[in-house]
Structure 1
Amino acid sequence: MEGDLASGSGRAAADRFGRAERAVAAIGTTLGARRTAAELAAFLVEELCDCATVDLFRPQDGAAVQAGRHAGGSLHSAATAGRRELLDALEKIPRADVSVRALDEGHPITASFTPQDGADLVALSVPLPAWGRVYGVALALRTGRPFEDDETAAAHFAARLAAVHLRHADEHREVGARVWDLQRVLLTDPGRPHPNVDLATRYLPVGRGTLVGGDWCETVRLHFGRTLLVIGDVMGHGLDAAVDMNAYRSMLRYVASTDLPPHRILRRVDAAMSEESGRRPATCLLALVDPARATVAFASAGHLPPVVFHRDGSAGLVPLPVGPPLGTGLGTYEVSALPLAPDDTLMMFTDGLVERRGEDIDTSLARLSALRVRPGLEVSALLDEILDRLGAEQAGDDVAALAARLRPRP
């Protein structure tokens, strides 16, 4: 007898554990609130009931809804699953009463009722609480048999799990908004080049979430009509990458103002940033444009090569020696020079423009260099056409790009 009881208890525990594992796997696969609500409803139908509906509270001026209270009764239907006829019957009963009671009590409750011309229904109502806020309420329905204690506990666990994911989604949106605001402040327009250089820049974030990266572009006016063009990319995304991007950008402006050649600028920046604990590495490409000599001198710290678009619309990659990324302390960089004709347009970019998942980077760069653009385009229009042809708006990473052309002197 005792062995049978122990065996039955073990099976019940295994069932509870298995159900919890399935809930963890099924609920919260994305950061979408409606998707999470739909996953909760689907799990309840799969495991416990004939149909389910999940209602989420609308945010009210950012104020949280405290557990045990319903602030204003602002509900909007988020997801349903299961038998349509039961859900239709549910619309004809005072479901709001059940929802409010669940919130008042702070724990699952059950209710029984008989719709017109229908079988007896049993309803299980559970709130979605997490960290002092109730995100909504789930209602599970089935015919006949009342919900057992283990089933009630499973529904409560699933509802709390969904609420945790809804909380994470809220935090993701809030942090993303702060990061984007910071990025807009940090990504001020590059400094003005000399009047003898036509310049266009673009920055395309991959999204409004925290996947805001450390891409940037910059120009620094130097003596004798020269302009230093800069494109860089801090590794990673989010707030830390944006902050590090600003640190690299500020350091590079300071060092560049000393009028060193490009490879020595990179060496100084690498040495300085490698001494700051916790800084993420960054790739960077410098191009020192000298209109008087019609040349451009390059130095690269782990960055993709630039491309030059010629008068006839054809393009060619500029092969460069590549040193290690900035911030590693390994900085040994080389400089290489290239003549720049008055009708040539130099383009520098971050990897989000060309990289594609599962594709070799040489293939990605070959796609860019194979482009032929319309001859005679102004610099800004040419840059827009390139971004459009490469699908930059749908890129899987942030894109920063810069295009420059010598401006003929009167």
Structure 2
Amino acid sequence: MPGDQVQPDPRILLTQAELAALADAVHHSENVAESAERLLDELTLTRRLLDHCPAGIAVLDTELRYLYLNDALARLNGVPAAEHLGRRLRDVLPDLEASEQLLAKVLRTGVPQVITVGGQTPADTTGDNRWWLGAYHRLTGPSGEILGVAGVVMEVTDALRGREDLVRARNRMALLDEANRSTGATLDLGQACQALADLLVPRFADYAAVDVVDPEGTPQVPSDRYPLRLRRIALATTPELAEASSPLGLLGEFVVYRAGSPMAHVLADRRPLVLTDPADEAMRQFSLSYERKEHFRRMGAHSGIYLPLAVHEELVGAVIVFRAGDSAHLTDADAELLGDLTDRAATGIAHAVRYTREHETALEMQRAFLNTPTVTGPGVETLGRYLPAGAGAEVGGDWFDTLALPHGRTLLVVGDVMGHGIRAAAAMSEYRSVLRTLAVQSSTPDFILLQAERTALTLELDRVATCLLALLDPRRECATFSNAGHVPPLLVAPDGTRTLLSLPVAPPLGVGLGSFSATTIPVAPGSVLLLCTDGLIERRDRDIETGLTTLADLPIDPAAPLPTLLETVTTHLDPSTSEDDVAILLARTGPPPPHTDHLPWLPQGWLHGRNLTPPR
């Protein structure tokens, strides 16, 4: 403002022209002492250093009016140097942050300050903020009087923006790493998808849903002809939307998108879709029914993004996010970042999907095979239980079986195929079928295992299996055992005496080294036999011998109902903590049955008129 201009005080600071004239006069005068001439030369050199310094330099008086500034500062400010002199800082540069208050503090306290100031000057043509690093100190005279403030200023905009870009890049990499780590840390599909949803809310959105393609309902991406069916696996919302968003979809339900819908095209093209108009039909397809669409509109949702979950050519599912209320609108830049994030997360979720489907398939195979009706001979009561491993562990090939044989005998079988997954479950079914077939043709457990070994080698089964056979004969009050690399059985006598049977152990079936032996021991009526697989007693944090000791010390009451005994076993050994699946078979012998040669698995009267001699 011209009215506020004050001419610089020559007693404080000479102008450049005045200094040049004084230097010229001194050099041509014969009466000036040599020391004064040298002092003036030094002053002139100092002034040249200030004038030509690439950093901006300024001197302000006690009213914070410009007394001096060099050309570098004039260029930074975008205002000629002459238009600074005599004017306040706020008059020359009104769009800077509160710099004048800082200079007043330096003037008042005498404490130097080094700070970064941001804002805009007339030199800025982009409209973006710039930043300057300034060092300020108070100027005093020979007698300590306060003369003003001096400052040195350098622009650091590029350095700060570069550092911000570096920080953003580092944060981006950390975020992508977090997405990869959190979704890849588990094979549980629900946990993997929920980890992604929790990563998105509230950091990037107010609502997030993660859907996985249903393989039965969607054999391929149905962009043109077929509907697209996904199952909602995970949800996350801000507290404000927790109740309001519930009508948009619930966990576990199917979400069906019509052929040619925006979501179908997103998954077909593998490209995110940004929705920024609440009235857009694609935006309103966050919810499908008319009532849900209206509810979505009333929630105040204003922008959203559809994102595909895919690994290479494998379609995994979709992610839906939206913002509502006062949250900033989602943009293409958000879609780019979220696309990278979901790409990272898709790998972990795809692993969980494959594992979950294989796990469920193997489990269904196990249950289907073990649900096959079993029959016991007279005088034998049995109860079996298959317990799959907990979340994050694969289903194995454990099984149990009972089979009624001629002469009132019952064969007990417990086995464990090495390995896990569908192949282990399939191998289990083959071993089980082989043993059932051989049992009705052979007389002793060791011969059954020998024949099973030969059959496994002939069929080239690629999995070995441990197996324990127990042939109960209540009429003779004995049991004959043969063990192929399996956990020993526990025998509980009617008086409660517990014995972990020490049996000869042969190699597992399928190894090709089988040399099986049979061991017969007395079994009094009312005795209980416990057969199990190693998942019941073996843990990562304890050796199998400790588990066997615990098994031998189980407080089993031989007179208790078998369901009660099974509960006692599972309570004390807690199979839920096992990383392997578990098969348990309990058997109790009763009073010796009357002598009979009928085959218990055949209908009554089937033998009438037939000349059959049961094997002995």
After TM superposition, the structure 1 = structure 2 runs for residues 3-402 of structure 1, keeping only pairs within 5 Å, are 20-32=176-188, 35-40=191-196, 53-57=207-211, 63-64=217-218, 78-80=235-237, 106-107=271-272, 109=274, 125=305, 127-130=307-310, 131-132=314-315, 134-138=317-321, 153-189=336-372, 191-206=374-389, 211-374=394-557, 376-392=559-575, 395-402=578-585
Question: Could you tell me whether the CA contact under 8 Å between 2:182 and 2:192 is conserved in 1?
Answer: no
Q: Judging changes above 3 Å, is the alpha-carbon distance between structure 1 residues 405 and 27 closer, same or farther for their aligned structure 2 residues? A: closer
- Secondary structure, counterpart of 1:338 in structure 2: strand
Per-residue deviation at 1:209? 8.2
Distance 1:333 1:72, change over 3 A: closer
Whichever residue aligns with residue 452 of structure 2, its letter is: V
Aligned mates of 1:266, 1:376 — CA distance in 2: 32
1:406 and 1:37 map into 2 onto residues whose CA distance is 50
Identity value in percent: 33
Cα 1:211/1:72, change in 2 over 3 Å: closer
Q: Distance in 2 between matches of 1:311 and 1:269?
A: 34
CA gap 1:253/1:76 in 2 versus in 1, 3 angstroms? closer
Taking a change above 3 Å as real, the CA distance of residues 224 and 144 of structure 1, as seen in their structure-2 partners, is: closer
Report the CA distance between 1:172 and its aligned residue: 4.0
Size of the alignment, in residue pairs? 383
CA distance in 1, matches of 2:372, 2:327: 64
Matching residue of 2:591: 408
Distance in 1, Cα, partners of 2:557 & 2:199: 55
Tell me by how many angstroms 1:367 deviates: 0.6
Cα distance in 2 for residues equivalent to 1:264 and 1:134: 53
C-alpha deviation, 1:60, in angstroms: 8.4
Report the CA distance shift for 1:20/1:221 in structure 2 as closer, same or farther (over 3 A).
Answer: same
Structure 2 residue matching 1:27: 3-state secondary structure? helix
TM-score between the two structures when normalised by the length of structure 2: 0.52
- Asked whether the equivalents of residues 102 and 109 of structure 1 are also in contact (C-alpha less than 8 Å), the reply is no
Report how far residue 186 of structure 1 moved. 1.2
Deviation at 1:269, TM superposition (A): 1.0
Output the CA distance in 2 between the equivalents of 1:210 and 1:362: 23
CA shift for structure 1 position 27: 3.2
Higher deviation after alignment, 206-215 or 62-71? 62-71
Is this contact kept in 1: 2:409–2:472, CA < 8 A? yes
Residues 81-126 of structure 1: CA distance to partner in whole angstroms, max 9, x if unpaired? Answer: 8xx89x89x99xxxxxxxx98987733649699xxxxxxxx98845
Deviations 1:50-79 (A, max 9, x none): 766422348789645767999799989712
Range with greater deviation from structure 2 (183-192 or 233-242): 183-192
Cα pair distance change 1:199/1:112, threshold 3 Å:
closer
Bigger drift between 281-290 and 260-269 goes to 260-269
Task: Write the letter of the residue equivalent to 2:588.
Answer: R
Q: Answer whether contact 2:467 2:509 (CA < 8 A) is retained.
A: yes
Q: Does the aligned pair in 2 maintain the 1:281–1:327 contact within 8 Å? A: yes
- The verdict on how the C-alpha distance between 1:294 and 1:326 changes in structure 2, with shifts beyond 3 A counting, is same
C-alpha spacing 1:146/1:377, structure 2 compared with 1 (3 Å): closer
Deviations 1:157-195 (A, max 9, x none): 211333454444444444444333322221134632221
Aligned residue in 2 for 1:95 = none
* Higher relative contact order, chain-length normalized (CA < 8 Å, sep 6+): 1
CA gap of 1:60–1:26, structure 2 versus 1, over 3 A, is closer
| CA distance in 2: counterparts of 1:300 and 1:60, whole angstroms | 44
Q: Is the 8 A contact 2:188 2:392 kept in 1?
A: no
TM-score normalised by L of structure 1: 0.75
CA distance, structure 2, for counterparts of residue 183 and residue 273 of structure 1? 20
Moved more, 251-260 or 162-171: 162-171
Gaps of 5+ in 1: 1-6, 92-99, 114-121
Q: Judging changes above 3 Å, is the alpha-carbon distance between structure 1 residues 17 and 202 closer, same or farther for their aligned structure 2 residues?
A: closer
Residue 278 of structure 1 and its aligned partner are, at CA, apart by: 4.7
**Structure 1 contact 128–135 (Cα < 8 Å) conserved:** yes
Write the distance in 1 (CA, Å) between the matches of 2:403 and 2:387. 22
Paired letter, 2:413: V
Query: Could you say what secondary structure the match of 1:275 adopts?
Result: helix
Q: 1:250 to 1:39 in 2, by over 3 A?
A: closer
Q: Please give the alpha-carbon distance, in whole angstroms, between the structure 2 residues aligned to 1:251 and 1:329.
A: 16
Contact 1:233–1:283 under 8 Å retained in 2: yes
* Alignment partners' CA distance in 1, 2:229 and 2:377: 59
- Look at both structures and tell me which one has the larger radius of gyration over its CA atoms: 2
Deviation at 1:248, TM superposition (A): 0.4
Q: Cα–Cα, structure 1 residues 107 and 406, in superposed 2: closer, same or farther, change >3 Å?
A: closer
Is this contact kept in 2: 1:352–1:395, CA < 8 A? yes
Deviation of the 1:402 alpha carbon: 1.7
Aligned CA distance change for structure 1 residues 343 and 139 (closer, same or farther; 3 Å): same
Structure 1 residues 140 and 159, CA gap change in structure 2 (3 angstroms)? farther
Counterpart Cα distance in 1 of 2:548 and 2:330: 64
* Conserved 8 A contact 2:205-2:321: no
